[in-house]
Every structure is written in C-alpha cells, then in structure tokens.
Copies of this chain bind each other. A is one copy, B any other.
Amino acid sequence: MAEALGTRTVSGGSTNGSVGPAIPWQDRPAGSKALVWRHRENPVIPRAPMPGVQGIYNSAVTPFGDGFAAVFRLEKTDRFPRLHVGWSEDALDWQIEPEPVVFSNWTDAPSHYAYDPRVTAIDGEYIVQWCGGHNGPTISLARTKDFRTFERLENAFLPFNRNGVLFPRKINGNYYMLSRPSDNGHTPFGDIYLSESPNLVHWGRHRFVMGKGGDQVGQWWQRTKIGAGPVPIETPEGWVMIYHGVIDTCNGFVYSMGVAILDLDEPWRVLYRTNQHVLTPEAPYEVSGHVPNVVFPVAALHDQPTGRLAIYYGAADTCTALAYTNLNELIEFTKANSAVF
C-alpha cells in the first residue's frame, strides 16, 4: 500500500536526487486536518528499549546504502549520554550497537559526554555533529563513510554552544553551520547563528540568523530559546529549517516544533518563520518522562517524488518518536503563517 511506496528519491542526508530506500510513512489520519501527525505506533524507540538502557532520544537518522543508519543519543542507567550507531531497513525497526562510537583522533578523555547528534551527508561522506564536552559544551564534529570508523575533527567553536547543524552542501564554496550559543547550564535564552568555514576546521563570518521570541503575537511559544533541528532541506523556496522553540512556564520549559525558510544563497536571511508551533507536547510519551513536555526534532527524511517528510524527534528526553507531514504543505503553511522578527 501507499505507505511502502515513498521511495526513489530520498534526502535527509543523502545526496539530493539519488534513489534511496523507502522512508517511513503513514497517511494523515482520516478526518484529520493536522499539518503534522504522529506515527500511530509511537514511540518508535520506547522507554528502556534494551536491557540496561534507560532511553534513546534526540537522535539522527540518515539514508545509507539500501537502508538507513542512525547516530543515537543513548543513555544507559548511569544516564551518561553517548553516541551509538544503529541500522535499519525501514527506519522504524532498529538494530542498535551495544557499544558507543569510538572516534579515532579523540583528544578528550574517553569519558566525555556526547549528546543530541545530527548527521549531514555531504560530498560523499557523513559529518556527525553533536554537543560534546570541551571544558563546557560545544559543537563537536566527526566524519565517516561507513558508520563503522569515525575520524574526529576539531570542535567547531569555543564553548558554550549547542544544536550545531551543518548544511548538506557547500554554498559558494564554503561550509555553513547553524548553532545556538549557550551558557554552561540549562540556558534560559538562546538564538540561532550561522558560521562559515573553508575547511571544517576554521570558522568565521558569524551571522545572527534569528532570535527567540518575546511578548508579541507569534512569539510566545518560542519566547525562551530556539535551536535548529534536522539538517535543512533544500527547496526552490529556500532552505526549510525545522527547529524547536521553548516557552518557560512556572513548572519548567515546554519544547515545541516550528519551521523557518532561509534564503538559498544567503542562508542567514530568514524569509519565513511560523508564528505558531506545528507540533507541541500532547501525547502521553511527550508530556511525561524524565523531562516532561519536550518535542525535540533532530532529523528528517524526505521523499522527493511525493513530498513526504518523516520527522524524528526526541520525546520527554526519554524516547524517540516520529511524525509525518508533506513538505509542500509545510512550506505553504509556513509562508501563510509567518512572522519574521
């Protein structure tokens, strides 16, 4: 049936335009008008999915070979966050490596944490980005071609930084990466910036892209902080950047999902930005967990012929969930409900 056919041209890491595996898909539930709808069997990776593992969440998925590879944030019962590789034919049922990723050229102590990874396919290889420790959290990088050996690169930035997301191709000959300068705690503020690099080692020409909201209409749901999510998706309208926006309540942060569209050639220019979230914690696995009320998008698989989009997100810092939308509808919605500030 339709759900198995979303195939030939898959992005979300793979070279745009290539033929790839079928991405996960479920049609919009009958009668629903939701722009984004949840996978019926969510969470895809439940709480405590393997013996001794407490949770897998905020993780990256990418087409690889005939199937998919993933770099997971996995916490064993010691709650120490590390990266683990996973393999899947359908991007739903995952074989997860029991041992964490080992990097060649790792200059930190072996115990250092690693969390909230993204994976960008670019120029025939995969660049992993994550939040790593360097006397304070910042953006760490590594390259791999096979998800078995990983060569660690230099950290991109000085501390303190989180949510680094590399674009899937060079623009005018340079690499570009989004990030969110932070502090050394839970950071009750945060805006999205863009940085440029000729070589993935030295970074500069930093540009402010867009900031957290405030007291105005269209800004409340994201008034505390924002951060980029999946690898931006190239479209004729611009780069589609799915991101998280956070509001602080008297009982803690609430993380929701929003969308922005950035200029293709000058990606620090925001063309559109949703004045409302497109997914917010409502399901049981989103509102309860180790950190309640978190919807945290980190990866997206795109089937170009159909426009289908499968978005992976961490839920409540406890499990991994999946939601669907149609990219064209998402773009139309974003353009029609935009507030750039």
Residues of chain A having any CB pair with chain B under 8 Å? 33-34, 47-48, 51-52, 54, 76-81, 111-113, 133-136, 138, 154-161, 179, 181, 183-184, 186, 189, 191, 193, 195-199, 201-206, 208, 211, 215-221, 247, 249-254, 256, 275-278, 280-282, 284, 287-294, 317
Contacts and interface: CB of A to CB of B under 8 A. Distances in A.
Contact of A181 (B159, B179, B206, B217): B159
Given A48-B282, A54-B280, A157-B206, 19 more contacts: A52-B276, A77-B276, A78-B217, A78-B218, A78-B221, A79-B276, A80-B219, A113-B215, A113-B220, A156-B204, A158-B195, A158-B206, A160-B183, A249-B291, A251-B292, A252-B252, A287-B288, A287-B292, A292-B293
Contact of A276 (B33, B78, B134): B78
A296 to B, nearest CB: 11
Given A204-B156, A204-B202, A250-B252, A288 B277 contact: no
Contact of A211 (B47, B135, B156, B220): B135
A253 B253 contact: no
A44 B218 CA distance: 27
Contact of A202 (B111, B198, B208, B216): B198
A253 B251 contact: yes
- For A79, A191, A202, which residue has the most chain B Cβ atoms within 10 angstroms? A79
Contacts of A159: 181, 193
A183 B186 contact: no
Contact of A77 (B48, B51, B205, B278): B278
Contacts of A33: 51
Contacts of A215: 111-113, 133
| Chain A contact surface mostly | loop
A156 B202 CA distance: 10
B276 A111 contact: no
A281 B290 contact: yes
B251 A291 contact: yes
Contacts of A284: 288
Contacts of A294: 251
A174 to B, nearest CB: 9
B252 A251 contact: yes
A337 to B, nearest CB: 8
